[in-house]
Amino acid sequence: MNRPQSGDALAEVAAGGNWQQLSARMIYVDLAQSLLSLAPAVLALWILPLEVGPSQIWPLWGLAAWGVLGAGHDAWRWVFTRYRITGSHVEIKTGLIFRQHRSIQRERIRSVDIEAKLRHRIGRLRVVQIGAGQQTSASEAALRLDALSVQDALALQQHLRTIAAVSRTPVAADARSSAAIQRAEKAPEPREVFATFRPGWFIYNMFNIWAFLVAGGLGWGLYWLLSSFGVDANGFILSLLDWESLGVLPTILIAVLALGVFGALGMGVLYFTEFWNFELARVHEKEGTMLRTRRGLFTTVEVNRDERRIRGLTVSEPVLWRWLGICDSNVVTTGLDVYSMKDPTAILPRGPRSTHWPNASKVLGHTPDPFTSELRPHPQSALRRRLAWATGFSAVVGLVLWWLVQAQVIAPATLWVLAGVWPVSLVAAVVAYRALGHGLCGDYLVTRSGLLARATTALQRSSVSTIVVRESLLQRRLGLRTVSVKTAAGYGSYDTPDITAQHALDFARQCAPGILEPFVARAGEPATDPHSTPARRGSAPGSV
């Protein structure tokens, strides 16, 4: 099968219909990967003393086997993988024993992203991921082309994005799309840059619960590496821990602290490798505007979000870092997997409030600004509900500890823990109550809640598809209700908890005008069946 030349890649994908192979350059990259994977093990056998046998450098052999098998898998995949762009679908065929033929309709394409690991960048290759609005794992509802040449990847991305914009006119879709591609290639790419890489932000990304996991992985790797060279790493670590003079508990605390410091340094290095050359920009193209993020030192990642699919934005403030003014920002959009480890909805790395809030307002571009609008506070009964839950939680903890003491599992002195559990729970209840707030600002509804991560979400009211008003037994006694709005973007549901029962119905109706009207009884009239009698808009407030 003849591969198109780089200069003809754009015309080839625009014509469509022919099955294409992945880039043959991947074979040379895999060969280099195999040789590099074998090199450490071979050098270890050559340099280390004769008494150091292969059994002591098994991690190096494992690394070599992993690299060779991975390279072989890539070569096998290259031989038996074909893809093509037709007038209506993007298709990919792969496999020999278990054949797979997968396709995505072009009008259903929601994202076309480009990624490149270090080995891809060295070989001038790129990985193209085509998404169709998947909300689970990318392998279930997306096509992944690993790997294409840089020219083919950029041409394919531009072609599919242009097709998504013009496919609504199927009469002359192919001719118009080809012309649009040529115009997009010749025209400059105007963009509005919102934020770039900030080296000083590494301090905000160092302190994280994942630091302990990173420290464990780095520590294990260092342990077997030293052991391979005959260093007694286990004895060295035990010599640093003075169990007898310090005691067990202080020694454990020192070890945990040292592990946390080691992990924090690893997280700082990870920030530089992940977000090096970061840029957040709004890119104006022929088919519309894209909110684009680019980042990565060894692995470059580019995510393009069609702003016509963005339904809102969430700014969250983790409780443990709130005193430092640290925020996270994520767009509420269709077509991106919110549960992905790559976090494609994040538009900025974790950073200061002074940068996140202004950029969130710029991304929405709405006047008045939803994030600066005044939110309505929640009633005192919402605080009483949280204090009741805090007291109930402390009581359960006390009963469990008392049962363990009676069973002689723990010492009776452990019951003093309750002296700290209840006050801390009450403080947490007050913090959670102070986080509550909601309001309406033009085309957006704004809701704020959360204890561990106080999240402020601005959501387009036109994107709300379902309204749910619910109340628990305790809420009913306190005269409270929770209003949930459902949407096809982001996490799918956003709650505004503990609103007064009188205000909940009005707020629910204003979140999405027209949805609840058939189910609301007008003042002085009985409720009607929404399926038999059409409801009139603009009715007086009533009850569901």
Mean per-residue pLDDT over the chain, rounded:
79
pLDDT, position 530: 47
d(CA 207, CA 322): 13
Which one is predicted more confidently, 64 or 163? 64
Of residues 138 and 152, the one with the higher pLDDT is: 152
pLDDT score recorded for residue 502: 87
Distance in angstroms (rounded) separating the CA atoms of residues 14 and 399: 70
> How many angstroms separate the first and last alpha carbons of the chain?
66
Model confidence pLDDT, tens digit, residues 304-346: 888 988 999 999 998 878 888 899 999 999 878 787 777 889 9
Does 535 have pLDDT greater than 70?
A: no
- Candidate from 50-54, 365-369, 390-394, 433-437 with smallest mean pLDDT: 50-54
Name which residue leads in pLDDT, 142 or 131. Answer: 131
Mean pLDDT, range 483-502, rounded to an integer: 93
Bridge partner list, 543: 521
Residue 397 pLDDT: 92
Percentage helix, strand, coil for the chain under 3-state DSSP, each rounded to 5: 50, 25, 25
480-487: strand order across its sheet: 464-470, 480-487, 493-500
Q: Mean of the pLDDT values across residues 203-217? A: 80
pLDDT at 232 (0 to 100) = 66
- Residue range 57-71: average pLDDT? 70
pLDDT digits (tens, 9 = 90+) for 192-202: 999 999 999 99
Grade residue 289 by pLDDT with cuts at 50, 70 and 90. Answer: confident
Least confident of 24-33, 63-72, 120-129, 493-502: 63-72
- Tell me, what's the pLDDT at 45? 64
At 234 the pLDDT is 67
Question: How confident is the model at residue 513, as a pLDDT?
Answer: 82
Q: Which of 86, 113, 117 is nearest to 101 (CA)?
A: 86
Within its chain, how far is the Cα of 187 from the centroid?
Answer: 33
- 48: pLDDT confidence band, cut at 50, 70 and 90? low
Upper half-sphere CA count for residue 386 (Cβ side, 13 Å): 23
Q: How far apart are alpha carbons 351 and 257 in whole angstroms?
A: 24
Q: Which of 143-147, 216-220, 483-487, 538-542 has the lowest mean pLDDT?
A: 538-542
- pLDDT tens column, 424-475: 999 999 999 999 999 999 999 999 999 988 999 999 999 999 999 999 999 9
Alpha carbon 76 to its chain's center: 31
Could you tell me which of 82, 78, 39, 30 has the C-alpha nearest to residue 57?
39
**The total number of residues written for the chain in this structure:** 544
pLDDT of residue 47: 62
For range 263-283, the mean pLDDT: 91
Looking at residue 224, what is its pLDDT? Answer: 67
Query: What is residue 246's predicted lDDT score, i.e. its pLDDT?
Result: 67
When pLDDT is averaged across residues 85-94 and rounded to a whole number, the result is: 87
pLDDT at 174 over 60: no
Instruction: Classify burial at 473, counting beta carbons within 10 Å of its beta carbon; exposed 0-12, middle 13-18, buried 19 or more.
Output: exposed
User: Which is more confident, 11 or 158?
Assistant: 158
User: How far is C-alpha 346 from the chain's CA centre?
Assistant: 6
Euclidean distance between CA atoms 544 and 435, whole angstroms: 28
Confidence of residue 95 (pLDDT cuts 50, 70, 90): confident
Q: What is the DSSP letter of 515?
A: T
For residue 422, give Cα distances in angstroms to 285, 418, 425, 436.
57, 6, 5, 22
**Residue 325 carries which side chain, given as an amino acid letter?**
G
pLDDT score of 89: 86
Instruction: Specify the higher pLDDT residue, 221 or 514.
Output: 514
